[in-house]
Amino acid sequence: MRRYNILISGGGTGGHIYPAIAIANEIKLRYPDANFLFVGAKDKMEMEKVPQAGYKIKGLWISGIQRKITFSNLMFPIKFISSLIKASSIIRQFQPDIAIGTGGFASGPTLIMASRNGVPTLIQEQNSFPGITNKLLSKRAHKICVAYNNLERFFSSDKIVKTGNPVRQDLLNIYTKVEEAKQFFKLDKTKKTVLVLGGSLGARKINQLIESNLEFFKKQEVQVIWQCGKFYIDDYKKYSDLKHIQVHQFINRMDLAYAAADFVISRSGASSVSELCIVGKPVIFIPSPNVAEDHQTKNAKAIADNHGAILLPEKEIDTFPIVFETLLKDKGKQENLSENIKELALPSATTNIVNEIEKLLNK
């Protein structure tokens, strides 16, 4: 069997990194002798997370463009040219058989130079509304794996394959872990549990919302597993002293967190949405309005339009107590949301994506 060289680029957030690692893991199962090299952005979380997963990574000096005039924006052309040169050098040395992009700053220069050097490229677009990087890369990409319908507006229809987004495989059987989960988090089995997720770094508005509703949750006899994020743990860890609240910087056992939850309050990044479709719990999405192309709102709307979740914009966040209490008391609504969001799940996404990668390798 031929020993393939697999180049993967994606990062900046967990939503780009974890799909990239899931794809690498699936390729490794099929081709144990394959060589892997990741390309990320220096100083971003992929430089830590990818080696932890057992893969080599090289960093580019690249960052995104801010919405306001900053020194970083003025440096962008220099960083971009530097990254193109570095990516070209990496490709010449590594000689990849395929280049895979899962989004993030580094994937642009990497896939541009891969395609210029005749390397087959595959893009994994996680959102319902693509960012500018993937729109540009799509012109040269051989295949584009997507998670939503109607992306023909942005990409050539003959390149699109609807695969879904890779998710953690340990989420596929969470309903067998409910008892283990309640013990793990030391929960009161007589009370409902809400899981609050704002991403690995944290979401300021969601954290403020939970802080302002601590007494509300107590009155509703609801206990809270609250992932407040790396940036906010020092501000909110004191609330773990309350009997019905536990605050976490990061949750390593997400399978047990989902298993323990009766309800989920979450941002609507692509990976979170894909996981929550598989988990099938009633969800209130509070999208971040501060991301490129407002794609979190579009992701959440795609689910809410199919009656699979409640979409609560940040500008309406003050209505949360009414929205949550109404859901808490309406068993039929809970069941409908769960059933509808599960119908949108694509649990075989990683397998489907690697099937497409294999086709390009075999060509």
The token pair at 215 is 């007494």
Residue with tokens 């605050």: 247
Residue 15, annotated as binding a ligand: yes
Q: Is 334 annotated to bind ligand?
A: no
- Residue 168 among known ligand-binding residues: yes
Query: CA 36 → CA 65, 105, 243, distances in Å?
Result: 29, 19, 47
81 has binding-site annotation = no
User: What are 279's two structure tokens?
Assistant: 């988990």
List, in sequence order, every residue forming a beta bridge with 10; answer none if it has no partner: 103
User: What is the residue type of 25?
Assistant: N
Check if the beta carbon of residue 34 is closer than 8 Å to that of residue 28: yes
- Nearest-10 crossing angle of helices 349-362, 14-30: 60
CB 45 within 8 A of CB 15: no
Query: Is there a binding annotation on residue 200?
Result: yes
| List of residues 6+ apart from 295 with CB closer than 8 A | 127, 128, 129, 131, 270
H-helix or E-strand spanning residue 197: strand 192-197
For residues 231 and 281, the answer to whether their CB atoms sit within 8 Å is no
Is 95 labelled a binding residue?
A: no
In this structure, the number of other CB atoms found within 10 A of the CB of residue 215 comes to 9
Q: Consult the annotation and say whether 103 binds a ligand.
A: no
Positions at the binding site: 13-15, 127, 168, 200, 251, 296
Positions at the binding site for UDP-N-acetyl-alpha-D-glucosamine: 13-15, 127, 168, 200, 251, 296
